[in-house]
Structure 1
Amino acid sequence: MSAEPARCACHEELSEEQLLAQLDDVLREYAQAPGALIPVLQIAQAIFGYLPETALKRIAQALDKPYSEVAGVVGFYSFFTRVPRGKHLIRVCLGTACYVRGGKEVLSALKSALRVEVGETTSDRTFSLDVGRCFGACGLAPVIMIDDDVHQRVRPTKLPKILEQYRHHAAETLESAAVGPEAQS
């Protein structure tokens, strides 16, 4: 398939109709492709920032699948979400090595700093907090991942500096979106 995954529109001021139109473009290309469900769900999540029910229903109809099958796939795979996520997804490893080397304390410090529980998103939609069981970096424990970035040997005292990097990045992204592409040239 030649459709490129759409960039996340979750922080742009696009209407639901505009987002669904982007999804429709993807569905036209993937409608007859075998094995299209997971790639389409991934692209839809990139478009919306999560998988709203309206998108799932449209995907089920376009791919000629029962809604229950589409919703079941979304529920089975942890990388899909049906609730809006923040711009940055923080995952704390609580596998054995990370847990015994302070992963629980890192998680507690993040919950306190962000004022959220696991599975929640900050009120400004900058961060979502989640946990995982092993990220394959046991020798670097405790480990957290923010988006695709692995942070190793994390201590609660390191968290303010780490979080600030991502807050700064999120603020720059929102600022450039507010200015608009025509003003940036």
Structure 2
Amino acid sequence: MSALQRKFEKVNEIIEKYGKKKSSLIAILQEIQEEYRYLPEEILTYVATAMDLSPATVFGVATFYAQFSLEPKGKYIIRVCDGTACHVRGSMPVYNAIRKKVGLKGDRKTTDDLNFTVETVSCLGACGLAPVVTINDKVYGQMTPEAIELILDQLMKEEDGQ
């Protein structure tokens, strides 16, 4: 095994799990992102070489789908719906409260400690619960700035080991 292969041992395991078929690329990238919380450029380049694909093909898939990120994401990925139903029921004050609580300023989406990433999405498919927020895979409906702050307080306590 070469030094490069050893460096990317986990990536090799993922590729072997799915096979080197082009049709496996999305599943491979999903698992790599789950492992690293994003798709590092050097790993994408390695995947292209290991799967005998062009770097353009791999980077094209990685940048086409919104689920993939070329930037590190937080442990907690918070998505705030800004679709029509959520927007008219106050999703933007909820979004602003989240950003303030986790300490995000400007156009930053992820905290320096990589605990939180905050994003808006066009629809979470739960309009009857508007405004809706997801934290990782958990759905929170009828959110208010006060309610989301309580949820974030609990997550922050868990991170501090309390």
Indicate the TM-score class for this superposition, using the shorter chain for normalisation.
Answer: 0.7 to 0.9
**1:145-164: per-residue Cα shift (whole Å, max 9, x none)?**
00000000000011221112
Report the Cα distance in structure 2 between the residues aligned to 1:21 and 1:59, rounded to whole angstroms: 12
Distance 1:122 1:159, change over 3 A: same
Secondary structure, counterpart of 1:134 in structure 2: coil
Q: Which residue matches 1:157?
A: 146
Amino acid at match of 1:85: K
Offset of 1:125 from its aligned partner?
Answer: 1.3
1:147 aligns with 2:148: no
Q: Which residue matches 1:179?
A: none
Report the Cα distance in structure 2 between the residues aligned to 1:48 and 1:156, rounded to whole angstroms: 31
Offset of 1:19 from its aligned partner?
Answer: 6.8
Distance 1:83 1:69, change over 3 A: same
Q: Which residue matches 2:39?
A: 51
Offset of 1:18 from its aligned partner?
Answer: 7.1
Alignment partner for residue 159 of structure 2, among 166, 170, 175?
170
Amino acid at match of 2:56: S
Amino acid at match of 2:126: A
Alignment partner for residue 83 of structure 1, among 71, 78, 81?
71
1:68 aligns with 2:62: no
Q: Normalised by the size of structure 2, how large is the TM-score?
A: 0.88
Is the Cα contact below 8 Å between 1:102 and 1:142 reproduced in 2?
yes
Q: Which residue matches 2:127?
A: 138
Task: Structure 1: state its 5+ residue gaps.
Answer: 1-16, 176-185
Q: Which residue matches 1:11?
A: none
**1:126-146: per-residue Cα shift (whole Å, max 9, x none)?**
110101011111011000000
Overall identity of the aligned pairs, in %: 36
Q: Which moved more, 1:61-70 or 1:138-147?
A: 61-70
Offset of 1:171 from its aligned partner?
Answer: 4.0
Q: Which moved more, 1:161-170 or 1:69-78?
A: 161-170
Distance 1:78 1:171, change over 3 A: farther
Is the Cα contact below 8 Å between 1:111 and 1:118 reproduced in 2?
no
Distance 1:56 1:34, change over 3 A: closer
Report the Cα distance in structure 2 between the residues aligned to 1:78 and 1:153, rounded to whole angstroms: 25
Task: Structure 2: state its 5+ residue gaps.
Answer: none
Pairwise CA RMSD? 2.0
Question: How many residues matched?
Answer: 157
Offset of 1:84 from its aligned partner?
Answer: 0.7
